[in-house]
Each structure stands twice: as C-alpha cells, then as structure tokens.
Chains A and B, each alone.
Chain A
Amino acid sequence: MRRDHVAGGAVIGAGAVLLAVSVDLPFGTLASPGAGMLPKAVIAAIIGLGLVIVAGAGASPRLAEMSWGDLPHALRVLAVAAGAAALYTVLGFIPTVFLLLLALTFAVEGKPLLNAALFAAGVTGLAFALFSTLLRTPLPRGSVWF
C-alpha cells in the first residue's frame, strides 16, 4: 500500500459520498442549467482525478515509510482548540482565551505552570485591550463570565 493509494482512494470515496448527497439537486439542461449542474460536473471531475492518482500510485512513497511522529502533538493541539471553540460563547472571551493559552503552553508544551499562567494572563489582557478597546470589536460575553 502506497501513499497515493490512500490519497486517491479517499478522494474517490469522498466523491461517491458527495454524489449520493447530491441526488436531489436538479441538473437541468444546457439551455437551463440547474443548481446541481456544476457540483455534479465537479464531483465527476474529482472522482476522475482520484482515479488518475490511484493509477500513478506506484511512484509514491510506501505508506509505512511516511512519518506520523507529529500526529500526537497535532491531535493535542486540535483537541485544545476544539475545547476553546466549544467554550468561546459559553464562558466568554477572557476565560476562554486564558484557558486556551494555558492549556497549550502548560499541558501540551510542558512549560512551567507559573510561566504558562503569566503568559496566558498577559496575552489575554493584551488581546482584550487590542480587540475591545483599540479595534472596538464586539467580543463574545458568554453566559458565565465576560
């Protein structure tokens, strides 16, 4: 199994799912194109290009040779960011940004708690001043705190 077998296969699979989702979109005619004409044509092109990638997959690196060493770090960062997205409008700007920065520097990067907390508090304060005071941007207040 090589990298482009996976890449092309994923593209073809995604194309097939999208085509199934698009069945209710009217294609129309050439004289009166419907809402589904371009999406269906593009999906067909995507599936075709996916097939070309699979056909040429022999020249791509083996899947086992690919480095996934950065995946755990990426997943941790993504999980923290997703947590922040979930809390942003619930807790509000200040607590969410503080917790996001604290979690990334302390929990993900392993920096000392005091350093991480000072960094998170300082940056949150500066960001609040920048967006709320200088740029006058309405920030989410949240139902728990500001």
Chain B
Amino acid sequence: MEATLDSLALGFSVAVRPDVLLYGFLGCLVGTLVGMLPGIGPLAGISILLPATFGLDATKAIVMLAGIYYGSQYGGSTTSILMRIPGEAASVMTCIDGYAMAQRGRAGAALCIAAVGSFVAGTLGVLLLTVVAPPLAAFALRFGPPEYTALLLLGLVFLAYMSSTSLVRTLLMAAAGLLLGCIGIDVMTGHFRYSFDIKELGDGIGIVPVAVGLFGLGEILSTPSKTVTAKVVSPRLAELLPTGGEWRQAGPPIARGSVLGFLVGIVPGSAHIIASFLSYAVERRLSRRPEEFGKGAVAGVAGPESANNAASTGAFVPMLALGLPTGPVTAVLMAALLIHGVPPGPQLVSEHPQVFWGFIASMYVGNLMLLALNLPLVGLFVSVLKIPYAYLYPLIIAFCIIGVYEVNHSIVDVWIMLIMGAVGYLLRKLDLDPAPLVLGLVIAPTFELSLRQSLLMSSGDYTIFLRRPIAAALLAVSAMLLGLAALSALTRRDWRGRLAAAEAGDER
C-alpha cells in the first residue's frame, strides 16, 4: 500500500505540472463538448483529435485523450437533460427522467445531480483503478503467448456476449476487424497480404482512418441535418442546487451506480451503456415509488449518470494492466499509446511509471475540473448547442480529412477513411455495430503473433492452450460464455431481453 501511495505521489507530481494540467483541461473541455453535441461520440472525438497529439509526449497525449473520454460522459448528460437528445449512447437513460425534471423546472437540479454523481463515481472509479490495476499488471507478467492468445479470445467473446446487439453480429464485426488487421506485410514470413500493389498498404491499415471513417464520417452520413433540432430548455442558474430531499434521494443511487458501473466497466463490451441501463433498472426495482420513474425521478438521473462514469474508469483497468481493450474507445487510446512508443500492458507500470501514474493522478484532477466546468459554465455550453448542425458537420468533416491526412501524410489514408465512412453508414442500416470491428483491428497483430508463437512453441500441438493453467482457465470462461449465449438463444431468454423488459417497465 505504501508503494502505491509513493507511486501515486509520483503521478501527482506529473499531473499537476502546468503543461499536463493544460492538456488535461483541454481534454475535459473538448470531451464535454463532444458529449453534448449530437452526431459526435467520444470515439469520433478522440479519433479526430488523435493526430493533434502527435507533437506531444505520451503522458500529455493520453491525459488529453482520456479527458475527452470521461469528459464526454459528463457532457452527454447536458443534452439529455436539456434537449432530450442523448449526446452519446450511455446518456439515453438520463433523457427519460432528466428531461422530465427539466420540464418541471428542475433542470438546474438535474444537471447538478448528474455532475456531482459523475464526480463521485469518477473519483471512486479512479480509487478502485489505483488499487486494482498494479497487482493485476504484476500477475499478467506471468503471461506468455498461449495466455495472451486465450486472453484476447476471451476479450472478443466477452465483448460479443455483453454487446447490446446480437452475439453473432458482434462476432462477425470483430472477425471483420481481425481480417482488416491482417492487411500488410506478415511480420513472420514477409508475405504481402491484401495490399493490391498499393505500397501504403504494406504497413497495414491504420486504426485512425478506420475509426474516424466509421464513427466520425459514418455518423454524419447517418444523420441528415434536417433531423437535428436545437430546442433547448435553458436552465435557471439560481435553481442549480438541488433541495435537501433531492440530495437524499440521489445519495444511495450514486453509491450503487458507482460500484455497479466500475464492475461492469472492467468487462469488455459496451460497458458504459450497459452500466447505465442496468443502474436504471436496479434503481426502479429498489424504489419505493417506481411509478415516478419516467416522470422525473431523481434516482433515474443519479444512478445511470454515476454508473456510466464509473464504467468509463473501470474500462481502463484491463487496458492499462493487461493491454486488453474493452471497447473501441480504449482500443483507440491503446493505439495512441502505441503511436507514442508506450505499449500498454503489464510492463506499463514498471517501465513507464510516469505515464501510468501520471495518467491515474490526472483523472483525479480531471474529475475536479469537470465538476467545475459543468456547473458554472452550463450557460456557455447551452449556447454551443445552438450552433446549427448544417454548419457544424462540415467543420467536423474538414477536421476528419485534415486529421487523418496528418497521421502519415498519406492521401491513401483519407480514401480509406471515406470508404470506411460509407461502410459505417451501410453497417448502421443493416443493424451491424461497427465498434467491434475497431477492436478486432487493434488486437489482430497481437492475436496473430501470439497464436502463431504458441503453435511454434508447441511444434503444432494445440493442447498447449489446455496444458497451461491460466490459458486453460481463460478458454474455459470463453467456452462457458458461448454456452450461455447458445442457451439464451435456444430458450430465447437472454439478458438483453430482460434488460429491455425491465427498461420498458414490464418486469418488476
């Protein structure tokens, strides 16, 4: 424990440096805007701004990009409460009771409860991250290629099992990502794969053009400007503080949402979305007045908002400690670290302590910044929401093109981004979630290398995965999840159905 505190002190010495503070603040500010503005999610925001961090060192880059991620969870609540438009998917549940509170003249109180809940959950999440990540990383140092293969496979299966769409569709998209990750020179044999004589493809397809295309451009193509309206309920700042009764109603849901969100966040999948849905269902089930849900229940704002913030912090545990991305956002953040020459995973704590602990400490500071940003400046953010979408999206497209080009100064990357934008549009039409594709793309090189190394180590004996206890345990969990999914499909009774029923109020 003493070593952890010493390391945290090192982290704070990095995090409170003026330059790191500045980039942390910029990340939080941009994240709040990204979370608020419909049509740009945290993934698009991070992907578009990733090239802007190339001139920074790894610590500043990850502090800024992570600030965008958890800042977007704060910002998402503002549009949900004031406009009934979820700025990003995890804020859907906040729309229901947050907007109802706003209609009753309690917009300020709803915003304050959402911000304080997010702050408490975010801070508790970082505390748990501080405690959990280093020992997990130390344990993962025992991992060899078979364990990594099994771990990455488990990550994909978990993602598919926990995905809010179907298991088959998620696995399909993850497989497509794995295949995209195979493009370029095979590092073990020197073979060119799917490069079609385009020399730029020799190094493979970058994550930035794919992520920006699928989530930046693809989202814009799926959002006709006529459908984005800007009817904003302006909060009265004088009514920003909730009443004593509202605080009492918000306390327990914030505590429950924080713990639930962190635990769900560790699991690969659409964690922050699932966490907010679960928290809403739990709060309604525990409430003495469930009939108030949907009509402005304080717990309906406090629980989901806390849960989605805690989940976004929990998602950093496997990313930092194991080098395992739990979703597309952590996949892009991992790519950012790799671009800066810092591989995430067990060695991160021992080899780059200033990055690891500086990043963790910056999250404590970032949560404070976000609390300060989101309450007093709510009026300013509301005015940003009034920018017509017809002017906003051309700006985003311009930044997509500039940002993607700047990664490698390659126009081929821009064309890949455009193709991925069109693919993203079609995937949405066909109800195929593009997020697992990015995850597959990121883990493909590590997965292939560790799989082939494992087979080489064992002279082709695939039972190596069953003879090593950690790998066997990880594969057993994967098999169990696939079995559960098959059982759910046969009985037509899986957790998604129950969640939807709970959300609709059919199941109490």
| Cα of A78 to Cα of B401 in the assembled complex, Å | 12
Q: Are B193 and A101 in contact (CB under 8 A)?
A: no
Q: Are B462 and A18 in contact (CB under 8 A)?
A: no
Which residues on the A side are within 8 Å of B51 (C-beta)? 137
Q: Are B456 and A46 in contact (CB under 8 A)?
A: no
Asked whether any CB of chain B lies closer than 8 Å to the CB of A82, the reply is yes
Which of A7, A78, A88, A101 contacts B394, CB < 8 Å?
A: A101
Binary flags per residue of A68-92, CB closer than 8 Å to B gives 1, else 0: 1110011001100110110011000
B70-78, B165-173, B238-246 - the one binding chain A = B165-173
Asked whether any CB of chain A lies closer than 8 Å to the CB of B395, the reply is yes
Asked whether any CB of chain A lies closer than 8 Å to the CB of B364, the reply is no
Q: Are B222 and A70 in contact (CB under 8 A)?
A: yes
| Cα of A92 to Cα of B245 in the assembled complex, Å | 60
Interface CB pairs A-B, < 8 A, 23: A3-B431, A22-B194, A25-B193, A33-B188, A33-B455, A34-B189, A38-B448, A39-B193, A45-B175, A46-B176, A49-B168, A49-B172, A50-B172, A69-B224, A73-B225, A77-B397, A85-B411, A85-B415, A89-B411, A97-B402, A105-B390, A123-B395, A137-B51
Tell me the smallest distance from the CB of A93 to a CB of chain B, in Å.
8
Interface size on A, residues (CB 8 A): 64
Which residues on the A side are within 8 Å of B178 (C-beta)? 38, 42
| Cα of A30 to Cα of B409 in the assembled complex, Å | 39
List the 3 shortest-distance A-B pairs measured between CB atoms, nearest first: A31-B460, A30-B460, A104-B394
- Given A82-B418, A88-B414: A46 touches B175 (CB 8 Å cut-off): yes
Asked whether any CB of chain B lies closer than 8 Å to the CB of A64, the reply is no
Q: Are B418 and A78 in contact (CB under 8 A)?
A: yes
| Cα of A4 to Cα of B432 in the assembled complex, Å | 10
Which of A36, A56, A101 contacts B395, CB < 8 Å?
A: A101
- Helix, strand, loop or mixed for chain A's interface? helix
Q: Are A66 and B429 in contact (CB under 8 A)?
A: yes
Q: Are A7 and B430 in contact (CB under 8 A)?
A: yes
Asked whether any CB of chain A lies closer than 8 Å to the CB of B406, the reply is yes
- Helix, strand, loop or mixed for chain B's interface? helix
Which residues on the A side are within 8 Å of B188 (C-beta)? 33, 35
| Cα of A84 to Cα of B401 in the assembled complex, Å | 8
| Cα of A144 to Cα of B55 in the assembled complex, Å | 28
Which residues on the B side are within 8 Å of A105 (C-beta)? 390-391, 394
| Cα of A111 to Cα of B390 in the assembled complex, Å | 8
Q: Are B182 and A38 in contact (CB under 8 A)?
A: yes
- Supply 8 further A-B pairs (C-beta < 8 A) apart from A42-B179, A88-B411: A18-B179, A49-B168, A68-B429, A85-B411, A97-B398, A104-B397, A135-B52, A137-B406
Q: Are B189 and A31 in contact (CB under 8 A)?
A: no
Question: Which A18-63 residues have a C-beta within 8 angstroms of B?
Answer: 18, 21-22, 25-26, 29-39, 42-43, 45-46, 49-50, 52-53, 56, 60
Asked whether any CB of chain A lies closer than 8 Å to the CB of B393, the reply is yes
Which residues on the A side are within 8 Å of B172 (C-beta)? 11, 46, 49-50, 53
Which residues on the B side are within 8 Å of A129 (C-beta)? none
Q: Are A33 and B421 in contact (CB under 8 A)?
A: no
Asked whether any CB of chain B lies closer than 8 Å to the CB of A146, the reply is no
Q: Are A42 and B225 in contact (CB under 8 A)?
A: no
Question: Which A79-137 residues have a C-beta within 8 angstroms of B?
Answer: 81-82, 84-85, 88-89, 93, 97, 100-101, 104-105, 109, 111, 119, 123, 127, 131, 135-137
Which residues on the B side are within 8 Å of A29 (C-beta)? 460
Which residues on the A side are within 8 Å of B52 (C-beta)? 135, 137
Which of B168, B398, B409 contacts A127, CB < 8 Å?
A: B398
Q: Are A32 and B460 in contact (CB under 8 A)?
A: yes
With CB as the reference atom, state the residue of chain A lying closest to B401: A84
Asked whether any CB of chain A lies closer than 8 Å to the CB of B451, the reply is yes
Q: Are A31 and B456 in contact (CB under 8 A)?
A: yes
Which residues on the A side are within 8 Å of B55 (C-beta)? 135-137
Asked whether any CB of chain B lies closer than 8 Å to the CB of A6, the reply is yes
Q: Are A127 and B460 in contact (CB under 8 A)?
A: no
With CB as the reference atom, state the residue of chain A lying closest to B172: A49
Q: Are B186 and A52 in contact (CB under 8 A)?
A: no
